[in-house]
Chains A and B, each alone.
Chain A
Amino acid sequence: MIKRDTALVSGQSEEELVKRAQHNRGAFGELYEIHYQRIFNYALKRTASVPLSLDVTSVTFLKAMNQIGKYRWRDIPFAAWLYRIASNEINDHYRKEGRRGVSIDRISELADTTDFADEINQAEEELSKHEEFLLLHKKLSELPSMYQEVIVLKFFEKKKIKDIVKILGKKEGTIKSLLHRGIEKLREKMQ
């Protein structure tokens, strides 16, 4: 089970860890351990695709490592920052119909192929068992990305409105409005 508590890591606050990670790659590794699974599963809930979620996760952490020097804790919590990068990557993917910065083919080449392929197959098999989720996702994917992301964050990621505000960098009223309209549109699709 992946540790989800980000308040204290190795006896220090996550804020201190982030500051260290800005100059120390090993510290970034600790942040990676904390957040990898949540980002991967967020991507999975947005895309319902194991390969695409791996791709989004890889790019998210590559970008995070590359840009962590510019990150400021006071603006947005680190986890919310990662969610925002991932969200942008997913939206970008849907806009560009699958053209990615780092493709899954490239990562597959680099990864240890046999275990990796087996694990992907198992994960896809596991995913296919979640029929209700896949049905909801199918309808959800017919909505514009701005509705998809608020609904996924609210209902699938169980985020509070104030957390979604930080992740998406939008006003609370905007988030509530998007949520309301998104649910209405989803309800229409479910008819």
Chain B
Amino acid sequence: MKKEHLLKRLDNVDLPELLIVSHKAWLKRALLEGTLARQDIDRAATPGRIGSWFDGILSWLRGPIWRTALASSLTVILIGAILAVTLYFASPSPAVVAADIVKRDPGIQQKLSGAGEIIIVRVEVRDRMATVVCGRSMGDFIEADVDIPGKSVVNTKRFEGLFIPEVPLDAQDSAVKIASAEPSVKAMLDKGGTVGRVFPIFSSISSIAIINGNILKVSPAATQAVVPVLFNDKVWMVQVNLEQKRVERIIEPQSNSSPHFDIYYWLKQT
């Protein structure tokens, strides 16, 4: 349709011109005599606000009984859903509860020697029971069986905290040869020093995890090893790069420290 044609139609259309006499008379009387309820005027003065919106709902609910029933059902469902969501987010998971029971248990705190916060290494939940492996930043670990509903530790098993994975024999030989070729190490060995158990070096202590309390799972694979050298009742740590076949560094022993501590300390620093 052309614009001119549309304009012509709009200009010439036969328009309704009506009058509802009874409404006109009634409305005038209602206005002048104030027979319309005050709330009607107020509502008219604020159309579309909360009041009329709420009134709309009430008006809708005043309809057939099915509307009331539907609204009641929806309200119950809504309240139930809100409660479920609130309880779900307000309640900690069983694993968190089990870990908390272990952390607060006086027996566990006593058995884990040393200072520092108790670290939860692993939690396994089975039905109402959980197995929690925990330790401190140093020292041994404890595997605790926890009764979650009873909020108690029912059994504990202690094991050494530092498990040193085996380095393959050929890699051990290679590491010892590389370390022994270092003049300072050779001098110690020539004077009666001995080589200890060779262990690998990993990029981070966090890559170590306990599985069943017996094994250290390490990833990625170690490319370096440490050759401990015991001389004059002290331990030197010889860090060997197995790929490049060279000594990276030699860590001097600390006074009054055990080899066990040195190894752990060294790992922590890596």
A111-B22, A112-B26 as given contacts; A62 in contact with B31, CB under 8 Å = yes
Pick from B1, B7, B24, B43: contact of A191, CB under 8 Å? B1
B44 contacts the other chain (CB 8 A) = yes
Pick from A33, A123, A136: contact of B18, CB under 8 Å? A123
Does A101 lie within 8 Å of B47, measured CB to CB? yes
A5 contacts the other chain (CB 8 A) = no
Pick from B18, B40, B53: contact of A50, CB under 8 Å? B18
Q: How large is the interface on A (under 10, 10 to 19, 20 to 34, 35 or more residues)?
A: 35 or more
Task: Note all chain B residues with C-beta closer than 8 A to A110.
Answer: 26, 30, 35-36
User: How distant is the Cα of A65 from the Cα of B35 in the complex, in angstroms?
Assistant: 14
Does B47 lie within 8 Å of A92, measured CB to CB? yes
- Provide the B52-94 mask, 1 if CB < 8 A to any CB of A, else 0: 1100100100000000000000000000000000000000000
Does B31 lie within 8 Å of A119, measured CB to CB? no
Chain A, 89-107, CB within 8 A of any chain B CB: 89, 92, 95-96, 99-103, 106-107
User: How distant is the Cα of A120 from the Cα of B19 in the complex, in angstroms?
Assistant: 9
Does B6 lie within 8 Å of A59, measured CB to CB? no
Task: Note all chain A residues with C-beta closer than 8 A to B27.
Answer: 32, 36, 57-58, 61, 107
B191 contacts the other chain (CB 8 A) = no
- Provide the B20-36 mask, 1 if CB < 8 A to any CB of A, else 0: 11111011101110011
Task: Note all chain A residues with C-beta closer than 8 A to B106.
Answer: none
User: How distant is the Cα of A79 from the Cα of B3 in the complex, in angstroms?
Assistant: 31
Give the shortest distance, in Å, between A115 (CB) and chain B (any CB): 4
Could you say which of A25, A65, A89 has the most chain B C-beta atoms within 10 Å of its C-beta? A65
Does B45 lie within 8 Å of A63, measured CB to CB? yes
Q: Which of A37-45, A141-149, A168-176 contacts B (4 or more CB under 8 A)?
A: A37-45
B233 contacts the other chain (CB 8 A) = no
- Provide the B236-268 mask, 1 if CB < 8 A to any CB of A, else 0: 000000000000000000000000000000000
A75 contacts the other chain (CB 8 A) = no
B196 contacts the other chain (CB 8 A) = no
Does B18 lie within 8 Å of A127, measured CB to CB? yes
Does B23 lie within 8 Å of A54, measured CB to CB? yes
Task: Note all chain A residues with C-beta closer than 8 A to B48.
Answer: 92, 95-96, 99, 101
| Secondary structure dominating the interface of B | helix
Does B36 lie within 8 Å of A66, measured CB to CB? no
B157 contacts the other chain (CB 8 A) = no
Does B47 lie within 8 Å of A100, measured CB to CB? yes
User: How distant is the Cα of A105 from the Cα of B30 in the complex, in angstroms?
Assistant: 15
Does B22 lie within 8 Å of A116, measured CB to CB? yes
A25-B32, A54-B23, A58-B27 as given contacts; A133 in contact with B18, CB under 8 Å = no
Does B44 lie within 8 Å of A66, measured CB to CB? yes
Task: Note all chain A residues with C-beta closer than 8 A to B19.
Answer: 2, 37, 40
Task: Note all chain A residues with C-beta closer than 8 A to B13.
Answer: 130, 132-133, 136, 155-156
User: How distant is the Cα of A133 from the Cα of B24 in the complex, in angstroms?
Assistant: 24
B116 contacts the other chain (CB 8 A) = no
24 A–B pairs (Cβ distance < 8 Å), ordered by A: A29-B28, A29-B31, A36-B27, A40-B24, A41-B18, A44-B18, A45-B16, A58-B23, A67-B45, A100-B47, A107-B23, A107-B26, A110-B26, A110-B30, A119-B20, A130-B15, A133-B14, A136-B13, A151-B10, A155-B13, A156-B13, A183-B3, A184-B3, A187-B2
Given contacts A110-B36, A133-B13, 12 further A-B contacts (CB under 8 A): A28-B32, A36-B24, A54-B20, A57-B23, A57-B27, A61-B31, A62-B31, A107-B26, A107-B27, A112-B22, A127-B18, A132-B9
What is the interface of chain B, defined by CB distance below 8 A to chain A? 1-3, 6-7, 9-11, 13-24, 26-28, 30-32, 35-36, 40-41, 43-48, 52-53, 56, 59
What is the interface of chain A, defined by CB distance below 8 A to chain B? 2, 25-26, 28-29, 32-33, 36-37, 40-41, 44-45, 50, 54, 57-59, 61-63, 65-67, 89, 92, 95-96, 99-103, 106-107, 110-112, 115-116, 119-120, 123, 126-127, 130, 132-133, 136, 151, 155-156, 183-184, 186-187, 190-191
